[in-house]
Structure 1
Protein backbone atom coordinates (compact mmCIF):
# COMPACT_ATOMS: atom_id res chain seq x y z
CA UNK A 1 0.00 0.00 0.00
CA UNK A 2 1.26 3.44 -0.98
CA UNK A 3 1.66 6.43 1.31
CA UNK A 4 0.83 9.56 -0.68
CA UNK A 5 1.80 12.96 0.75
CA UNK A 6 -1.06 15.38 0.05
CA UNK A 7 0.41 18.51 -1.56
CA UNK A 8 3.60 17.29 0.09
CA UNK A 9 3.61 16.86 3.86
CA UNK A 10 1.09 19.69 4.07
CA UNK A 11 0.36 19.02 7.73
CA UNK A 12 3.93 20.05 8.49
CA UNK A 13 4.70 22.79 5.94
CA UNK A 14 2.92 25.04 3.42
CA UNK A 15 1.23 22.96 0.73
CA UNK A 16 2.77 22.53 -2.72
CA UNK A 17 6.15 23.99 -1.74
CA UNK A 18 9.64 22.53 -1.62
CA UNK A 19 9.44 22.69 2.18
CA UNK A 20 6.45 20.29 2.14
CA UNK A 21 7.99 18.08 -0.54
CA UNK A 22 11.30 17.78 1.34
CA UNK A 23 9.51 16.62 4.49
CA UNK A 24 7.46 14.10 2.49
CA UNK A 25 10.67 12.63 1.09
CA UNK A 26 12.29 12.57 4.54
CA UNK A 27 9.26 10.69 5.90
CA UNK A 28 9.64 8.08 3.14
CA UNK A 29 6.33 8.73 1.42
CA UNK A 30 5.91 6.66 -1.74
CA UNK A 31 4.32 9.50 -3.67
CA UNK A 32 3.98 13.26 -3.54
CA UNK A 33 0.52 14.43 -4.60
CA UNK A 34 0.53 17.88 -6.18
CA UNK A 35 -1.61 20.16 -8.36
CA UNK A 36 -0.59 21.82 -11.62
CA UNK A 37 -1.77 24.76 -13.69
CA UNK A 38 -0.52 26.85 -16.59
CA UNK A 39 0.71 30.42 -16.20
CA UNK A 40 -0.14 33.26 -18.57
CA UNK A 41 3.07 32.53 -20.49
CA UNK A 42 2.54 28.76 -20.64
CA UNK A 43 4.69 27.40 -17.80
CA UNK A 44 3.47 24.52 -15.61
CA UNK A 45 3.42 25.58 -11.95
CA UNK A 46 2.48 23.71 -8.79
CA UNK A 47 -0.49 25.33 -7.03
CA UNK A 48 -3.94 24.08 -6.03
CA UNK A 49 -6.35 27.01 -6.26
CA UNK A 50 -7.14 28.86 -9.47
CA UNK A 51 -6.43 32.03 -7.46
CA UNK A 52 -3.23 32.81 -5.56
CA UNK A 53 -4.99 34.60 -2.67
CA UNK A 54 -5.19 31.74 -0.13
CA UNK A 55 -1.61 30.49 -0.30
CA UNK A 56 0.44 33.56 -1.24
CA UNK A 57 0.70 37.29 -0.51
CA UNK A 58 -0.70 38.03 -3.97
CA UNK A 59 -4.20 38.31 -5.41
CA UNK A 60 -5.83 37.19 -8.63
CA UNK A 61 -5.96 34.22 -10.96
CA UNK A 62 -2.97 32.00 -11.71
CA UNK A 63 -3.74 32.25 -15.43
CA UNK A 64 -3.24 36.02 -15.33
CA UNK A 65 0.31 35.81 -13.93
CA UNK A 66 3.53 35.22 -15.84
CA UNK A 67 5.98 32.79 -14.29
CA UNK A 68 8.26 35.62 -13.19
CA UNK A 69 5.36 37.40 -11.48
CA UNK A 70 4.19 34.22 -9.75
CA UNK A 71 7.61 33.36 -8.45
CA UNK A 72 7.96 36.79 -6.87
CA UNK A 73 5.11 35.90 -4.49
CA UNK A 74 5.63 34.58 -0.96
CA UNK A 75 3.99 31.15 -0.77
CA UNK A 76 5.06 30.27 2.78
CA UNK A 77 4.31 33.05 5.25
CA UNK A 78 0.58 32.29 5.34
CA UNK A 79 1.47 28.97 7.02
CA UNK A 80 4.17 30.23 9.37
CA UNK A 81 6.87 32.89 9.64
CA UNK A 82 9.60 30.23 9.39
CA UNK A 83 8.47 29.50 5.82
CA UNK A 84 8.72 33.09 4.58
CA UNK A 85 10.21 33.16 1.10
CA UNK A 86 8.89 29.81 -0.09
CA UNK A 87 7.72 30.23 -3.66
CA UNK A 88 5.41 28.55 -6.13
CA UNK A 89 7.52 25.85 -7.84
CA UNK A 90 7.69 24.87 -11.47
CA UNK A 91 6.65 21.26 -12.04
CA UNK A 92 9.91 20.73 -13.93
CA UNK A 93 11.91 21.92 -10.91
CA UNK A 94 10.07 19.48 -8.67
CA UNK A 95 10.60 16.56 -11.03
CA UNK A 96 14.31 17.33 -11.36
CA UNK A 97 14.72 17.42 -7.60
CA UNK A 98 12.85 14.26 -6.64
CA UNK A 99 12.30 12.08 -9.71
CA UNK A 100 14.79 9.41 -8.65
CA UNK A 101 13.59 9.35 -5.04
CA UNK A 102 9.80 9.39 -5.00
CA UNK A 103 6.72 8.95 -7.18
CA UNK A 104 4.31 11.69 -8.21
CA UNK A 105 0.52 11.83 -8.26
CA UNK A 106 -0.07 14.88 -10.45
CA UNK A 107 -3.51 16.48 -10.50
CA UNK A 108 -4.58 18.35 -13.61
CA UNK A 109 -6.80 21.21 -12.49
CA UNK A 110 -9.95 21.36 -14.58
CA UNK A 111 -10.46 25.10 -14.82
CA UNK A 112 -11.67 26.35 -18.19
CA UNK A 113 -8.53 28.47 -18.51
CA UNK A 114 -6.26 25.44 -18.53
CA UNK A 115 -6.47 24.64 -22.24
CA UNK A 116 -3.51 22.52 -23.31
CA UNK A 117 -2.52 21.43 -19.80
CA UNK A 118 -2.79 17.73 -20.63
CA UNK A 119 -0.36 18.01 -23.57
CA UNK A 120 2.07 20.22 -21.67
CA UNK A 121 2.25 17.86 -18.69
CA UNK A 122 2.62 14.80 -20.89
CA UNK A 123 5.45 16.37 -22.87
CA UNK A 124 7.27 17.26 -19.66
CA UNK A 125 6.81 13.81 -18.14
CA UNK A 126 8.25 12.23 -21.29
CA UNK A 127 11.58 13.82 -20.32
CA UNK A 128 11.42 11.94 -17.01
CA UNK A 129 10.37 8.53 -18.29
CA UNK A 130 13.21 6.95 -16.28
CA UNK A 131 11.71 8.23 -13.00
CA UNK A 132 10.31 6.00 -10.27
CA UNK A 133 6.62 6.43 -11.12
CA UNK A 134 4.10 9.00 -12.29
CA UNK A 135 0.30 8.93 -12.07
CA UNK A 136 -1.78 11.73 -13.58
CA UNK A 137 -5.21 12.37 -12.06
CA UNK A 138 -8.18 14.72 -12.39
CA UNK A 139 -11.77 15.16 -11.31
CA UNK A 140 -12.50 15.63 -15.02
CA UNK A 141 -13.01 12.37 -16.90
CA UNK A 142 -12.75 14.37 -20.13
CA UNK A 143 -9.34 15.69 -19.15
CA UNK A 144 -8.06 12.24 -18.20
CA UNK A 145 -9.44 10.75 -21.43
CA UNK A 146 -7.59 13.43 -23.42
CA UNK A 147 -4.38 12.75 -21.50
CA UNK A 148 -4.72 8.97 -21.78
CA UNK A 149 -5.31 9.14 -25.53
CA UNK A 150 -2.14 11.21 -26.00
CA UNK A 151 0.08 9.40 -23.48
CA UNK A 152 -1.32 5.88 -23.00
CA UNK A 153 1.82 4.60 -21.26
CA UNK A 154 1.41 7.00 -18.29
CA UNK A 155 -0.87 5.62 -15.54
CA UNK A 156 -3.96 7.72 -14.87
CA UNK A 157 -6.57 8.16 -12.15
CA UNK A 158 -10.08 9.53 -11.85
CA UNK A 159 -10.93 11.40 -8.66
CA UNK A 160 -14.45 10.36 -7.72
CA UNK A 161 -17.19 10.99 -5.16
CA UNK A 162 -19.47 7.96 -5.62
CA UNK A 163 -23.10 8.35 -4.63
CA UNK A 164 -24.58 5.95 -2.05
CA UNK A 165 -21.30 4.08 -1.67
CA UNK A 166 -21.34 2.49 -5.11
CA UNK A 167 -20.52 2.97 -8.78
CA UNK A 168 -22.87 2.34 -11.67
CA UNK A 169 -21.81 -0.02 -14.46
CA UNK A 170 -21.56 2.91 -16.85
CA UNK A 171 -19.26 4.78 -14.48
CA UNK A 172 -16.97 1.79 -14.08
CA UNK A 173 -16.87 1.27 -17.85
CA UNK A 174 -16.01 4.92 -18.42
CA UNK A 175 -13.34 4.94 -15.73
CA UNK A 176 -11.78 1.72 -16.98
CA UNK A 177 -11.52 3.13 -20.52
CA UNK A 178 -9.29 5.99 -19.37
CA UNK A 179 -7.78 5.16 -15.99
CA UNK A 180 -5.88 2.66 -13.89
CA UNK A 181 -6.94 4.11 -10.53
CA UNK A 182 -10.06 5.55 -8.98
CA UNK A 183 -9.33 7.93 -6.13
CA UNK A 184 -12.18 8.31 -3.66
CA UNK A 185 -12.91 10.55 -0.70
CA UNK A 186 -12.35 8.35 2.35
CA UNK A 187 -15.75 9.18 3.88
CA UNK A 188 -17.44 7.49 0.89
CA UNK A 189 -15.34 4.33 0.90
CA UNK A 190 -16.52 0.90 1.96
CA UNK A 191 -15.27 -2.64 1.41
CA UNK A 192 -17.87 -3.35 -1.29
CA UNK A 193 -16.84 -0.29 -3.29
CA UNK A 194 -13.17 -1.21 -3.05
CA UNK A 195 -13.76 -4.84 -4.08
CA UNK A 196 -15.99 -3.72 -6.98
CA UNK A 197 -13.26 -1.41 -8.28
CA UNK A 198 -10.67 -4.17 -7.89
CA UNK A 199 -12.84 -6.64 -9.82
CA UNK A 200 -12.94 -4.14 -12.68
CA UNK A 201 -9.17 -3.80 -12.70
CA UNK A 202 -9.07 -0.43 -10.95
CA UNK A 203 -6.85 0.26 -7.95
CA UNK A 204 -8.20 2.52 -5.19
CA UNK A 205 -6.64 5.46 -3.40
CA UNK A 206 -8.38 7.12 -0.43
CA UNK A 207 -8.21 10.88 0.16
CA UNK A 208 -7.56 12.99 2.26
CA UNK A 209 -6.70 11.51 5.67
CA UNK A 210 -5.79 13.75 8.60
CA UNK A 211 -5.93 11.43 11.60
CA UNK A 212 -4.22 8.19 12.51
CA UNK A 213 -7.33 6.14 13.39
CA UNK A 214 -8.81 6.77 9.95
CA UNK A 215 -5.53 5.74 8.33
CA UNK A 216 -5.48 2.50 10.31
CA UNK A 217 -9.09 1.72 9.38
CA UNK A 218 -8.43 2.29 5.69
CA UNK A 219 -5.37 0.05 5.77
CA UNK A 220 -7.59 -2.74 7.10
CA UNK A 221 -9.99 -2.15 4.18
CA UNK A 222 -7.28 -3.03 1.64
CA UNK A 223 -7.04 0.27 -0.20
CA UNK A 224 -4.06 0.55 -2.53
CA UNK A 225 -2.94 3.93 -1.25
CA UNK A 226 -3.78 6.65 1.26
CA UNK A 227 -3.48 10.35 0.50
CA UNK A 228 -2.62 12.16 3.73
CA UNK A 229 -1.35 15.49 5.05
CA UNK A 230 0.75 13.49 7.54
CA UNK A 231 2.75 10.71 5.83
CA UNK A 232 4.08 9.45 9.17
CA UNK A 233 0.51 8.44 10.13
CA UNK A 234 0.72 5.48 7.77
CA UNK A 235 2.20 2.29 9.16
CA UNK A 236 4.57 0.70 6.67
CA UNK A 237 3.79 -2.65 8.27
CA UNK A 238 0.14 -2.42 7.23
Structure 2
Protein backbone atom coordinates (compact mmCIF):
# COMPACT_ATOMS: atom_id res chain seq x y z
CA UNK A 1 0.00 0.00 0.00
CA UNK A 2 3.02 2.31 0.01
CA UNK A 3 2.38 3.34 -3.59
CA UNK A 4 -1.23 4.16 -2.77
CA UNK A 5 -0.26 6.16 0.29
CA UNK A 6 2.39 8.03 -1.63
CA UNK A 7 0.28 8.89 -4.66
CA UNK A 8 -3.18 9.45 -3.22
CA UNK A 9 -4.03 13.04 -2.18
CA UNK A 10 -5.39 13.43 1.33
CA UNK A 11 -8.63 14.94 0.01
CA UNK A 12 -9.23 11.89 -2.18
CA UNK A 13 -8.64 9.50 0.73
CA UNK A 14 -10.89 11.63 2.92
CA UNK A 15 -13.71 11.16 0.40
CA UNK A 16 -13.60 7.40 1.19
CA UNK A 17 -14.12 7.79 4.96
CA UNK A 18 -17.96 7.79 4.77
CA UNK A 19 -17.75 4.31 3.24
CA UNK A 20 -15.68 2.83 6.10
CA UNK A 21 -18.68 1.03 7.69
CA UNK A 22 -19.50 -0.57 4.33
CA UNK A 23 -15.86 -1.52 3.73
CA UNK A 24 -15.64 -3.11 7.19
CA UNK A 25 -18.75 -5.17 6.51
CA UNK A 26 -17.31 -6.31 3.18
CA UNK A 27 -14.02 -7.35 4.81
CA UNK A 28 -15.91 -9.36 7.44
CA UNK A 29 -18.00 -10.99 4.72
CA UNK A 30 -14.94 -11.95 2.66
CA UNK A 31 -13.20 -13.39 5.73
CA UNK A 32 -16.25 -15.52 6.53
CA UNK A 33 -16.45 -16.80 2.94
CA UNK A 34 -12.79 -17.79 2.99
CA UNK A 35 -13.18 -19.60 6.32
CA UNK A 36 -16.39 -21.38 5.29
CA UNK A 37 -15.13 -21.91 1.73
CA UNK A 38 -18.61 -20.99 0.53
CA UNK A 39 -20.65 -17.93 -0.43
CA UNK A 40 -23.75 -16.64 1.46
CA UNK A 41 -26.19 -18.77 -0.58
CA UNK A 42 -24.38 -21.90 0.63
CA UNK A 43 -22.67 -22.74 -2.66
CA UNK A 44 -19.22 -24.16 -2.02
CA UNK A 45 -16.25 -22.50 -3.70
CA UNK A 46 -14.05 -24.64 -5.92
CA UNK A 47 -10.26 -24.35 -5.63
CA UNK A 48 -10.00 -21.63 -8.28
CA UNK A 49 -12.84 -19.54 -6.84
CA UNK A 50 -11.49 -19.97 -3.31
CA UNK A 51 -8.02 -18.84 -4.39
CA UNK A 52 -9.55 -15.77 -6.06
CA UNK A 53 -11.59 -14.98 -2.94
CA UNK A 54 -8.49 -15.31 -0.74
CA UNK A 55 -6.59 -12.92 -3.02
CA UNK A 56 -9.49 -10.45 -2.95
CA UNK A 57 -9.59 -10.65 0.85
CA UNK A 58 -5.83 -10.08 1.05
CA UNK A 59 -5.85 -7.01 -1.19
CA UNK A 60 -9.04 -5.61 0.29
CA UNK A 61 -7.68 -6.16 3.79
CA UNK A 62 -4.52 -4.21 2.93
CA UNK A 63 -6.60 -1.38 1.49
CA UNK A 64 -8.85 -1.27 4.57
CA UNK A 65 -5.83 -1.31 6.90
CA UNK A 66 -4.38 1.69 5.04
CA UNK A 67 -7.68 3.55 5.18
CA UNK A 68 -8.12 2.84 8.91
CA UNK A 69 -4.64 4.24 9.59
CA UNK A 70 -5.46 7.38 7.60
CA UNK A 71 -8.68 7.77 9.57
CA UNK A 72 -7.03 7.70 13.02
CA UNK A 73 -6.37 11.47 13.24
CA UNK A 74 -9.87 12.18 11.93
CA UNK A 75 -11.34 9.87 14.57
CA UNK A 76 -9.47 11.84 17.23
CA UNK A 77 -10.85 15.05 15.75
CA UNK A 78 -14.34 13.56 15.75
CA UNK A 79 -14.03 12.48 19.40
CA UNK A 80 -12.82 15.96 20.38
CA UNK A 81 -15.70 17.64 18.55
CA UNK A 82 -18.25 15.24 20.06
CA UNK A 83 -16.98 16.07 23.54
CA UNK A 84 -17.92 19.69 22.78
CA UNK A 85 -21.22 18.76 21.16
CA UNK A 86 -19.95 19.91 17.78
CA UNK A 87 -19.33 18.56 14.27
CA UNK A 88 -17.77 19.66 10.97
CA UNK A 89 -19.42 18.97 7.63
CA UNK A 90 -16.60 16.68 6.47
CA UNK A 91 -17.41 14.29 9.32
CA UNK A 92 -21.18 14.69 9.41
CA UNK A 93 -21.61 11.19 7.93
CA UNK A 94 -20.37 9.75 11.25
CA UNK A 95 -23.41 11.19 13.06
CA UNK A 96 -26.09 9.49 10.99
CA UNK A 97 -26.04 5.69 10.99
CA UNK A 98 -28.59 3.19 9.58
CA UNK A 99 -31.46 2.56 11.99
CA UNK A 100 -31.01 5.88 13.79
CA UNK A 101 -34.21 7.85 14.46
CA UNK A 102 -34.01 11.59 13.85
CA UNK A 103 -36.10 14.70 14.35
CA UNK A 104 -36.12 16.94 11.30
CA UNK A 105 -37.10 20.59 11.04
CA UNK A 106 -39.12 21.30 7.90
CA UNK A 107 -39.17 24.75 6.33
CA UNK A 108 -40.33 28.09 7.77
CA UNK A 109 -43.36 26.48 9.41
CA UNK A 110 -41.12 25.13 12.15
CA UNK A 111 -42.83 21.74 12.09
CA UNK A 112 -40.86 18.67 13.14
CA UNK A 113 -40.98 15.24 11.54
CA UNK A 114 -39.60 11.97 12.89
CA UNK A 115 -37.85 9.57 10.52
CA UNK A 116 -35.70 6.45 10.59
CA UNK A 117 -32.47 6.52 8.60
CA UNK A 118 -31.70 3.78 6.10
CA UNK A 119 -28.55 5.33 4.66
CA UNK A 120 -26.75 8.60 4.06
CA UNK A 121 -24.53 9.80 1.25
CA UNK A 122 -22.31 12.74 0.40
CA UNK A 123 -23.49 14.40 -2.80
CA UNK A 124 -20.65 15.77 -4.89
CA UNK A 125 -21.21 18.56 -7.41
CA UNK A 126 -18.17 18.83 -9.65
CA UNK A 127 -17.18 21.87 -11.64
CA UNK A 128 -17.34 20.96 -15.33
CA UNK A 129 -13.88 22.44 -15.78
CA UNK A 130 -12.40 20.02 -13.27
CA UNK A 131 -10.86 16.97 -14.93
CA UNK A 132 -12.03 13.49 -14.02
CA UNK A 133 -8.71 12.62 -12.37
CA UNK A 134 -8.42 15.73 -10.20
CA UNK A 135 -9.67 16.17 -6.64
CA UNK A 136 -13.34 17.22 -6.31
CA UNK A 137 -13.46 20.93 -5.56
CA UNK A 138 -17.16 21.44 -4.95
CA UNK A 139 -19.08 19.34 -2.45
CA UNK A 140 -22.83 19.23 -2.36
CA UNK A 141 -25.14 18.53 0.58
CA UNK A 142 -25.24 15.44 2.76
CA UNK A 143 -28.35 13.48 1.85
CA UNK A 144 -30.28 11.20 4.19
CA UNK A 145 -32.57 8.43 2.97
CA UNK A 146 -35.05 6.61 5.17
CA UNK A 147 -38.69 6.25 6.01
CA UNK A 148 -41.25 8.20 7.96
CA UNK A 149 -44.86 7.65 8.96
CA UNK A 150 -47.69 9.43 7.14
CA UNK A 151 -51.44 9.36 7.63
CA UNK A 152 -53.01 8.00 4.44
CA UNK A 153 -56.44 6.51 3.78
CA UNK A 154 -57.43 6.62 7.45
CA UNK A 155 -54.30 4.85 8.71
CA UNK A 156 -50.59 5.37 9.32
CA UNK A 157 -48.22 3.97 6.68
CA UNK A 158 -44.45 3.92 6.25
CA UNK A 159 -43.38 6.11 3.34
CA UNK A 160 -39.97 6.79 1.72
CA UNK A 161 -38.21 9.87 3.08
CA UNK A 162 -35.31 12.02 1.86
CA UNK A 163 -33.65 15.02 3.48
CA UNK A 164 -30.61 17.16 2.69
CA UNK A 165 -28.25 18.96 5.05
CA UNK A 166 -26.57 21.85 3.27
CA UNK A 167 -22.81 22.16 3.38
CA UNK A 168 -21.47 24.48 6.08
CA UNK A 169 -18.03 25.79 7.01
CA UNK A 170 -16.30 25.34 10.32
CA UNK A 171 -17.55 23.57 13.47
CA UNK A 172 -21.26 23.69 14.25
CA UNK A 173 -23.27 22.63 17.27
CA UNK A 174 -24.88 19.24 16.64
CA UNK A 175 -28.04 20.47 18.36
CA UNK A 176 -28.29 23.27 15.76
CA UNK A 177 -28.39 20.91 12.76
CA UNK A 178 -31.71 20.61 10.88
CA UNK A 179 -31.67 16.87 11.67
CA UNK A 180 -30.78 15.59 15.15
CA UNK A 181 -31.09 12.26 16.92
CA UNK A 182 -34.50 11.68 18.45
CA UNK A 183 -34.45 11.38 22.24
CA UNK A 184 -36.55 8.83 24.11
CA UNK A 185 -38.76 11.62 25.48
CA UNK A 186 -39.31 13.07 22.00
CA UNK A 187 -40.14 9.61 20.64
CA UNK A 188 -42.86 9.22 23.27
CA UNK A 189 -44.16 12.70 22.45
CA UNK A 190 -44.35 11.87 18.72
CA UNK A 191 -46.16 8.60 19.45
CA UNK A 192 -48.70 10.26 21.74
CA UNK A 193 -49.29 13.04 19.22
CA UNK A 194 -49.79 10.45 16.48
CA UNK A 195 -52.27 8.49 18.59
CA UNK A 196 -54.26 11.64 19.36
CA UNK A 197 -54.31 12.61 15.68
CA UNK A 198 -55.47 9.11 14.69
CA UNK A 199 -58.36 9.27 17.17
CA UNK A 200 -59.34 12.74 15.95
CA UNK A 201 -59.08 11.78 12.26
CA UNK A 202 -61.20 8.65 12.73
CA UNK A 203 -63.84 10.61 14.65
CA UNK A 204 -63.99 13.16 11.84
CA UNK A 205 -64.24 10.34 9.30
CA UNK A 206 -67.20 8.82 11.17
CA UNK A 207 -68.95 12.21 11.44
CA UNK A 208 -68.58 12.84 7.68
CA UNK A 209 -69.91 9.36 6.91
User: What's the TM-score once normalised by structure 1's chain length?
Assistant: 0.25
Greater Rg over alpha carbons, structure: 2
User: What's the TM-score once normalised by structure 2's chain length?
Assistant: 0.28
**Between structures 1 and 2, the one with greater helix share:** 2
Tell which has more relative contact order, 1 or 2 (C-alpha 8 A, sep 6+): 1
**Between structures 1 and 2, the one with greater strand share:** 2
